[in-house]
Amino acid sequence: MIVAYDGTDFHGWQKQVHPERTYLRTVQDVLEKAVIKVMRAPVILTGASRTDAGVHANGQVVTFDAANEIPPDKLVLGFNSWLPDDVQVLHVDIVHSRFNPITHCTSKGYRYMLAHGCSNPLRKPLFDRKYTAFTTYALDVEKMQEAASHFLGEHDFAGFTKLNHGRKTTVRQVDQCEVSSLDDWRIAIDIAGTGFLWNMVRIMAGTLLEVGRGYITPDSIPEIINSCDRKRAGKTMAAQGLSLEWVAFENHSPNKLAISKKPCSEK
């Protein structure tokens, strides 16, 4: 499934149990209940990305195993009829049972939306305030774009994640990091790579914001990355500005899953 959601009222993608043994509202839990209603059988969902609380998605990829082969177009209608207004299944395909959206993912693309110069209150997001972060500072977009190019390639991003990140390695490959002006006071930061650490994209965005303010020079980014020191990178930006835009797999363009029951070795 390709799934979109407004992450505002969710505690992230992954199903969680509160210390008092009550379930927190997560996308996985809500979506799983809808799938069970339609399939009339227990299912376990696997998502390509464990988005954090408040983070949105336009192209989350999710799989589940089922013996009941209902046509994909009917599944789209069925799932959406049981889902709340802040989650929507956009597309369904049948894939090989060994397909895994986590291990078979080759890259993911995120977009961070930012309004700047918001010391003028008329520039502060209103109707899109749930999807766009803001800063009072007017930012130098050209310097931010120059700095963004230094994130490209394989680096140790230990300074761009939480200390208790829980990953075996903090080395990641970034294939795209671009900053563009959508209008006079709106910026889009597009970042793509093979995988990301906890809060990594939001910290990269926070570091680029400091470049835009003039607090960090563009050519200091490599030194900050090599230091592996969280204190030298920028702040973790607000969750509402971030959205998972697409997930790509080998031999397939982003979010286009081919219908196939052939063994993986035959693809």
Residues labelled as active-site residues = 52
CA 81 – CA 181 distance, rounded (Å): 38
The single residue listed with the structure tokens 């774009």 is 145
CA 197 – CA 177 distance, rounded (Å): 15
**Could you tell me which of 157, 152, 138 has the C-alpha nearest to residue 212?**
138
CA 255 – CA 60 distance, rounded (Å): 8
CB atoms within 10 A of CB 157: 24
Cα radius of gyration rounded to whole Å, the chain: 20
**Could you tell me which of 2, 86, 89 has the C-alpha nearest to residue 37?**
89
Helix (H) or strand (E) holding 79: helix 72-82
**Could you tell me which of 179, 169, 177 has the C-alpha nearest to residue 222?**
177
**Packing angle, helices 27-39 and 72-82, rounded to 10:** 120
Residue 221: strand, helix, or coil: helix
Query: In b/e form, how buried is each residue of 189-205, taking b as 16+ CB within 10 angstroms?
Result: bebbbebbbbbbbbbbb
